[in-house]
Amino acid sequence: MNTWLLQKEGFDKKDAASDGNRFLCANGYMGLRGVPEEAGSALFPAITLAGVYDQFEDKWREPVNAPNCLFIHASFNGQSLSVEDGSPQAHSTALDYRHGVYSRKTDFGAACIVSRRFVSMASPHLLADEYQVSFRLDGEMTLETGISTDIWDINGPHLFDYQLTAGEILAVSCVTGQKKINLAAAQCVQADFEAEESLRQDETGVFRVFRRRVRKGETLNLRVFSAVYTSLDEPAPADAAKSCCREAKAAGFSACLQSHTDAWEKIWTLSEITLEGNEEAALFLRASQYHLNCVAPRHAKNMSIPARGLSGQTYKGAIFWDSEMFFFPMFAYTQPKIAESLLRYRVETLDGARKKAAEYGYRGAFYAWESQEGGEEGCTNFNVVDVFTHRPVRTYFRDKQIHISADIAYALRSWYEITGDRTLLQAGGAKVILECARFYLSRANGHFDSDRVDFADVIGPDEYHERVTNSFFTNEMIRHCLDSALLLKDIFADQPAWFASLLKELNYEQDWALLPALRERISPPRERNGVIEQFDGYFGLEDCSLDTVRGRLRDPREYWGGDHGVAGTTQIIKQADVIALMALLPERFTDRQAAANWVYYEPRTEHGSSLSACMYALTACRIGRLDEAWDLFMKTAQIDVLGGGKQWAGEIYIGGTHPASNGGAWMIAALGFAGLKMRAGKLSVDPHLPRQITRLSFPVTACGERYRIDVTHEGASISRQ
Ligand code: IFM
């Protein structure tokens, strides 16, 4: 088995959405969905751009898809050589995870297409395709390549005022509707054959058309170089896109591919986990690492990663807590610059979070639940559409999921623990932690004089139970946030003047004095037989099985939460909640507590979010439930190989890749199976290797030093590289 290769035989239109995700190529700047070159919008082609958002009319704001500048379509003797309408005799697709190369082979009988392509990891704006078509009969061939404006959008259109330029380099310039961001795509080709050549431009785009009589046995090769720029990158995006194409053509396809694969090799040197003992698991883990690595914003210093990566516009291309909880750990331990970029995004969107807090009448920083550029909140008040009435349902994620600010503070503190670096804290990170703590002080107002503070009307990670009081997860994360704020004084004990001036700048003296008081007063967790109640009143809800609740659904796409959802009145939860907290702050609980809670909550968890299994797996490792940990690992790691995961929340499409599971797979392997930990400047391992794995070996960077971790059933070692 080649554990670096995803392969699929055959073509089925109903798999197009899912295959577009599984075969994604991306480089952090853009994502190219894994559909064949000739795909029209019905097959969901997209080049999704990171950090470029637009709103059309009153629809949801979402990221912008660029014009399809890698469009190629051939026909032979009047037959369209297209998977969609050309009735291929055979079709196969592959994705090489090691080097991020997508390839396809489609046999139409009289002609056969073989191609490979990549989104350059070495040059963020470049995409390239090598397209070969061979013929088994004599006949007339037409080959069209160009920039198609037939774009798949969920809530579009987003691009207007198209200007098409035809010439040696084809170009499309356009502008987004809302913020008037200029966007340009360009394309040029290198053909190794002579043909009658013409240009075509109309409302579907601009194309170069090759016509030629071909002979039986002949093969034609075309190499296509494309580029995308926006005015956020360069003042003249069309010129930049054209010169990028020109330079790539001059260098040649092989040289561009070589730089791209070299860049991937470097990424694997820093991050690859070698898993021995089970080839399927090795493939799943590689797929997970590929998908998370390919959406990392290597081209930027202050960007984060959307919850569905760059696989399309799902979840509005927004940044969720997924970034801090699930993407951050792999990057912090393998490629700290990327982890830093995720956090800098939060530092630089602090004003957005302050604005949101003020909107709700609070002080401090209330980060957006679905954050877009500038920290703008993408989450609407009606975030689900009811499948029965087709009406938007009032949801409270935006207003009540207040743990988001504490999650960000948690990651900033982890950054300091893993890297030992204080400069990020000095460059705004400390300010973020303090402003998050201030938000909770102000959210607790009114209850502050009593000796117990209840955080009421919140939503924890389990989104099926809305507007609850004393969510254990939320309360403990708030406590940790207040603690982290207080810890800053110790971290900067050698720079008291700097720290005092920071408090002064934030006008924080009074709030500072209140932090310990709030920390002490937050309502303590309530327990029954060692099991912590997820929120006040949870134990009083109907205690029935997952199957019972599932059996009450009248439509498979029905939303389980909200006012009328099937889960709301029961103890069935969407995703890890109490257990998520235990996985994030393991030292705070005994093994016995962890075991009692795992055993109680796991059967009551739907795992309806791709964020769930990972947290249960981490705790399962700790309490020695290694067979369950293994199953949860496989569930987490396979998601973007097999194309699983929920596709619908009510009437909203939520498909795409799952970077949280991708990061979760790394977390289970490194933090769970190997038991990797960095505390007080000391790196340690505490292996819990399932019997299915014989060896795990991986690189780690901590406090600026590179290490290799090796774990087998015979023992473990940490060696400095
Ligand atoms: O952040 C998650 C949330 O916890 C569950 N719904 C999906 C979001 C994006 O992954």
Q: Which atom of ligand 1 is nearest to the CA of 609?
A: 5
Q: Name the one residue in this structure whose structure tokens are 């924890």.
A: 460
Nearest to 310 by CA among 594, 602, 38, 49: 49
pLDDT at 449: 65
Q: Is residue 615 lining ligand 1, measured as CB closer than 6 Å? A: no
* Active-site position among 463, 476, 606, 628: 463
Cα dist from 184 to 65, 228, 379, whole Å: 11, 6, 29
Domain shared by 183 and 310, yes or no:
no
Residue 450 identity = S
Cα(181) to centroid(ligand 1), Å: 29
Cα(308) to centroid(ligand 1), Å: 10
> For ligand 1, atom 7, which residue shows the shortest CA distance?
609
Domain shared by 633 and 691, yes or no:
yes
Mutate to test the pocket of ligand 1, among 21, 320, 607 (most ligand atoms within 8 A of CB): 320
466: domain range? Answer: 272-720
pLDDT at 649: 72
Domain shared by 262 and 276, yes or no:
no
User: Phi and psi of 516, rounded to 5°?
Assistant: -65, -35
Q: Is residue 309 lining ligand 1, measured as CB closer than 6 Å? A: no
Cα(16) to centroid(ligand 1), Å: 24
Domain shared by 211 and 228, yes or no:
yes
E strands present in 136-204: 139-148, 159-165, 170-176, 182-191, 196-202
Cα(469) to centroid(ligand 1), Å: 21
Q: Which atom of ligand 1 is nearest to the CA of 611?
A: 4
The answer to whether position 18 is within a domain reads yes
Domain shared by 216 and 328, yes or no:
no
> For ligand 1, atom 6, which residue shows the shortest CA distance?
609
Q: Which atom of ligand 1 is nearest to the CA of 654?
A: 7
Q: Is residue 368 lining ligand 1, measured as CB closer than 6 Å? A: no
pLDDT at 9: 97
The answer to whether position 4 is within a domain reads no
Q: Is residue 652 lining ligand 1, measured as CB closer than 6 Å? A: no
Q: Is residue 461 lining ligand 1, measured as CB closer than 6 Å? A: yes
Q: Which atom of ligand 1 is nearest to the CA of 610?
A: 10
Cα(630) to centroid(ligand 1), Å: 23
Q: Which two tokens stand for residue 36?
A: 């064949």
Q: Which atom of ligand 1 is nearest to the CA of 574?
A: 5
Domain shared by 200 and 285, yes or no:
no
Give the end of a domain, one of 211, 245, 269. Answer: 269
Domain count of the fold of the chain: 2
The answer to whether position 441 is within a domain reads yes
> For ligand 1, atom 10, which residue shows the shortest CA distance?
307
Helix axes 430-443, 336-348, angle to 10 degrees: 50
Instruction: Say if CB 659 and CB 681 are below 8 A apart.
Output: no
The answer to whether position 2 is within a domain reads no
> For ligand 1, atom 9, which residue shows the shortest CA distance?
307
Domain shared by 258 and 285, yes or no:
no
Q: What is the pLDDT of residues 309-333, one digit of tens each?
A: 999 999 999 999 999 999 999 999 9
Cα(612) to centroid(ligand 1), Å: 10
CATH of the domain at 478: 1.50.10.10
DSSP-assigned states of every residue in 39-99: --GGG---EEEEEEEE--TTS--EEEEEPEEEEEEEEETTEEE-TTTS--SEEEEEEETTT
Rg over CA atoms, the chain: 26
> For ligand 1, atom 5, which residue shows the shortest CA distance?
609
Instruction: Say if CB 575 and CB 606 are below 8 A apart.
Output: yes
The answer to whether position 5 is within a domain reads no
Q: Which atom of ligand 1 is nearest to the CA of 308?
A: 10
pLDDT at 174: 98
Mutate to test the pocket of ligand 1, among 313, 322, 458 (most ligand atoms within 8 A of CB): 322
Domain shared by 204 and 290, yes or no:
no
Query: In order along the chain (721 residues), what is the average pLDDT of each group of 10 residues?
Result: 96 92 98 96 94 96 98 96 91 98 98 98 98 98 97 94 96 98 98 97 96 98 98 98 98 98 98 98 98 98 98 96 98 98 98 98 98 95 91 94 98 98 98 98 78 94 97 98 98 98 97 95 95 98 97 93 92 98 97 98 96 98 98 98 78 88 98 96 97 98 97 97 92
Q: Is residue 377 lining ligand 1, measured as CB closer than 6 Å? A: no
CATH of the domain at 20: 2.70.98.40
Positive or negative torsion for Cα 288, 293, 297, 301: positive
Domain shared by 337 and 459, yes or no:
yes
pLDDT at 86: 76
Give the end of a domain, one of 210, 237, 269. Answer: 269
Cα(619) to centroid(ligand 1), Å: 20
Q: What is the pLDDT of residues 141-157, one digit of tens each?
A: 999 999 999 989 999 99
Q: Which atom of ligand 1 is nearest to the CA of 461?
A: 4
Domain shared by 83 and 134, yes or no:
yes
> For ligand 1, atom 4, which residue shows the shortest CA distance?
461
Cα(611) to centroid(ligand 1), Å: 7
pLDDT at 447: 61
Domain shared by 424 and 507, yes or no:
yes
pLDDT at 80: 96
Cα(218) to centroid(ligand 1), Å: 51
Give the end of a domain, one of 251, 269, 287. Answer: 269
In the residue annotation, 57 being an active-site residue is answered as no
Instruction: Say if CB 302 and CB 22 are below 8 A apart.
Output: no
Q: What is the distance between the terminal CA atoms of the chain, rounded to a whole angstrom? A: 30
Domain shared by 226 and 320, yes or no:
no
